[in-house]
Amino acid sequence: MLLSYWLRVVCLSLFSVGTIQITLHLLLRFAMPRAQRSIDRMSARTQERLCFAIPIAPHLLALLLTLSLVIPQYIRNETNLQSERVGIVCFAGALAVTLRYLYAILRGTRLLRNKHETEDTPVIMTAGLPVHLTTEIYPQLAVTGVFSPRIVLSQHLLANPAFSPELLEIALAHEKAHIRHFDNLKHLLLLSLVLPHQSIGEQWQQRWRHAAEIAADEDAVGSNSSRAIQLAETLLIAARTVSAPFTPELSLSLLQHEENLDHRIHRLLGENPPQPVAHPEKPRAIQAAALLAAGACVGLILITASFPQLVEYVLHLG
């Protein structure tokens, strides 16, 4: 397939981004079982930041390395500015990367279009925050919106006699922590980058969501034990008020993931939370193969960035 000079640059860029991203993904997959124990000993907010940064890092680093190493080397050493044949392997790889990130853009757009609407809901000022009241049963209390996040409160929960103004204030502090740390935007990025049936990506989403809820809990209570007890009481009241039949994808609800409720309450009360069931480690042979594959890809990219003849080989492969 004949491509012009700049189309060859684009093709090589996309192929390099995909190759480096897969390489870094394999390295992370190999290293994370060993690093997870260290991450679990960090503070809740640090865990939240790492659980967001780790799945995002391969994409950003792949783009950075491609733009700073691979493409400058190719442009500096390429002398043929006319149309040139590009191999089917390089072209197919570039096309696959294009489709992969086009899917992420379309998924993100769909999530934004399906956001929870709060434009026509009445607004009250509570604890110095504008809160949108809704007649819907669920979400009971949540942050909705990505670029202009809002707090939504169900009138069903507000009418609960057990839900006192003190409990409402601490619940709002929890939601305010989500707004302050741009959690809905982080949630959108993680959801957009996950491919269908990608179990690893879904696991990182679950880890981040759980870490974000724990970090918001800690931001809301600080080191005040009485506030921690109040927030635990708030969680129980919300859980007993109504079960969650459906949670909008881009809203971070007070009870977004009720399967983690026990862990959050135990943590707030200063008790030892129940430990998750340990999964058996994968055979060492699989980990060794992943490491070798990752090392081979890293070596290929580094050599490609250093030697123009190998860039030409990659371009004409197939």
> Among the listed ranges 65-69, 125-129, 256-260, which one has the minimum average pLDDT value?
256-260
CA angle 129, 132, 133 (to 5 degrees): 125
132 has which bridge partners? Answer: 123, 152
Q: What is the mean pLDDT of the chain?
A: 79
What is the rounded distance in angstroms from the CA atom of residue 193 to the CA atom of residue 164? Answer: 40
What is the reported pLDDT for 146? 85
141 has which bridge partners? Answer: 153
What is the rounded distance in angstroms from the CA atom of residue 239 to the CA atom of residue 206? Answer: 20
pLDDT tens string 226-253:
888 888 888 888 877 766 555 555 566 6
Give yes or no for residue 212 having a pLDDT over 50.
Answer: yes
What is the reported pLDDT for 86? 83
Q: What is the DSSP letter of 1?
A: -
What is the reported pLDDT for 265? 81
What is the reported pLDDT for 181? 93
- 155 phi, psi to nearest 5 deg: -65, -25
Which runs of consecutive H residues, i.e. helices, occur in the chain?
Answer: 5-40, 44-65, 71-77, 88-113, 155-158, 165-180, 183-193, 199-221, 225-241, 261-268, 284-306, 308-315
What is the reported pLDDT for 254? 67
What is the rounded distance in angstroms from the CA atom of residue 259 to the CA atom of residue 247? Answer: 13
Q: What's 134-159 look like in SS3?
A: ECCCCCCEEEECCCCCEEEEEHHHHC
Positive/negative CA dihedral, 161, 166, 167, 168: positive
Give yes or no for residue 293 having a pLDDT over 60.
Answer: no
Give the residue among 20, 24, 7, 25 at the shortest CA–CA distance from 69.
20
Q: Which band of pLDDT confidence, cut at 50, 70 and 90, is reported for residue 148?
A: confident
Please state whether beta strands 129-134 and 150-154 pair in parallel, antiparallel, or not at all (unpaired): parallel
Q: Which residues of 31-60 are buried (b: 16+ CB within 10 A; e: fewer)?
A: eeeeeeeeeeeeebbebbbbbbebbeebbe
> Global pTM?
0.79
pLDDT tens string 98-146:
999 999 999 888 888 876 555 567 887 776 778 888 887 777 788 888 8
Give yes or no for residue 284 having a pLDDT over 70.
Answer: no
134 has which bridge partners? Answer: 154
Edge to edge, what strands does the sheet with 252-253 contain? Answer: 123-126, 129-134, 150-154, 141-144, 252-253
**Contact yes or no for 74/85 (Cβ under 8 A):** no
- What share of the chain in percent tops pLDDT 70? 76
What is the reported pLDDT for 97? 94
> Among the listed ranges 154-163, 168-177, 266-275, which one has the minimum average pLDDT value?
266-275
Structure tokens at 193: 């980058």
Structure tokens at 309: 């003849």
